[in-house]
A = this chain, B = another copy of it.
Amino acid sequence: MAKKYNICLDIGGTKVLGAIFDEEEKIIYRLKKKTKEGGDSSENVEEVIISVVEEMIKESGIKKKDINAIAAGAPGVINQETGVVLFSPNLPWRDYDIKTPLEKRFGVPFYIGNDVNVGVLGEYKYGAGKGYKNIVGFFVGTGMGGGLILDGKLFTGNQFKAAEYGHMVLNTEGPLCNCGQRGCLEIFSSKKGMSAYIREQAARGRECMLADKIENGVFKSKMLKKSIAANDTVTMEAVDRACHYLAVATGNMINVVSPDLVVYGGGVMEAVGDVFLEKIAAEVDKYCMPSIRTTVELKNAALGDDSILYGALSMINGK
């Protein structure tokens, strides 16, 4: 292409992570900024996005006229065609058109999609999912996100709301989730779910290395890693429970989709290595039809924290 750089963004609840890709699809510059400091309004997040893009251009020394496009993944229900964020649990945007002002500001096309959808797309095009056709992705972080590649394309369903299997009910008698349901995957297997279990056990007087590390309802993934390394009893109970229900959900999704790959990403997977994957793999056969299980592989994501950045890149180049 004539214009050789693409700018990709991972917009989170508290930060904007940016990267500049060169024409060989390598990341040549990175920047991360927090969003909360200057207030919590639509404008603030938009200002942080703008400042990340401008600072990256300036500091990397590339020319504005060499920028081909900008793309982003963000949490929530996002209309990928119009660039309107319909609803986001962690961002101050409701029916908010983020595409128009950014295209006006930078004079290049702007693309945006749901962060986990985009992350699974990234793994499909550049990571663990290369060469597969039907992929179920679980992204384990503060919450539990999902993304589906079906027949070789990102599947977003009616009005871009598909792949919310973080809230699939697995045990109708289970604990209550924020979403109002009982026993859905997120309440067992996300950082929020594991943290809630640890707090409950700590409240009963049991010791757990992670109990006093929980802030705003969650521990940090690297603290989880330490606590697993120390084989902390209550931590391992929370991990075993998380993996048990991830295995059940994986089995259900194998039965629903008959994928050729199930991929596990997100901050927790990135931090703990193969601990979760091995536990899930050991149990999943119990929860899906043997004839379907035989043709599906389970893998960890390969791009780590960059899944969403690479997925944004593939929204731009359509690859």
Query: Measuring CB to CB, which residues of chain A are less than 8 angstroms from any residue of chain B?
Result: 77, 87, 133-134, 146, 148, 150-151, 153, 155-165, 167-173, 179-181, 245, 248, 251-253, 255-260, 286-292, 295-296
Q: Are A295 and B169 CB-contacts (below 8 A) given A164-B255, A180-B286, A289-B179?
A: no
Q: Which chain B positions have C-beta within 8 A of A291? A: 77, 87, 161
A252–B172 CA distance with the chains assembled, in angstroms: 12
9 additional A-B residue pairs with CB within 8 Å, beyond A156-B258, A167-B255, A168-B256: A87-B291, A133-B158, A134-B158, A146-B256, A159-B258, A167-B288, A168-B255, A169-B287, A172-B245
Instruction: Closest B residue to A251 by CB, please name it.
Output: B169
In the complex, how many angstroms separate the beta carbon of A240 from the nearest chain B beta carbon? 14
Given the complex, which residues of B lie within 8 Å of A296, measured CB to CB? 158
Closest to A259 in B: B158
Is A172 within 8 A of B169, CB to CB?
no
Q: Which residues of B contact A167 (CB under 8 A)?
A: 255, 288-289
Q: A150-B150, A155-B151, A257-B157 are in contact. Are A252 and B295 (CB under 8 A)?
A: no
| Distance in angstroms between the alpha carbons of A148 and B155 in the assembled complex | 13
Complex contact B168–A252 (CB within 8 A): yes
Q: Which residues of B contact A170 (CB under 8 A)?
A: 169-170, 172
Do A164 and B248 touch across chains, with their CB atoms under 8 A apart?
Answer: no
B295 pairs with A159, CB closer than 8 A: yes
A84 to chain B, nearest CB (A): 14
Q: Is there contact, CB below 8 Å, between A165 and B248?
A: no
Of B151, B159, B161, B165, the residue contacting A252 (CB under 8 A) is: B165
Bound Cα distance from A30 to B190, whole angstroms: 55
Lowest 7 CB-CB distances: which A-B pairs, in order? A157-B258, A161-B258, A162-B258, A164-B255, A158-B260, A168-B252, A158-B258
Contact B255 A165 (CB under 8 A): yes
With A158-B134, A171-B172, A295-B159 given, is the CB distance from A256 to B164 under 8 Å? Answer: yes
Instruction: Give Cα A292–Cα B167 distance, bound, in whole angstroms.
Output: 12
Query: Which B residues are in CB contact (< 8 Å) with A290?
Result: 180
Complex Cα gap A296–B157 (Å): 11
**B169 contacts A248, CB within 8 Å?**
yes
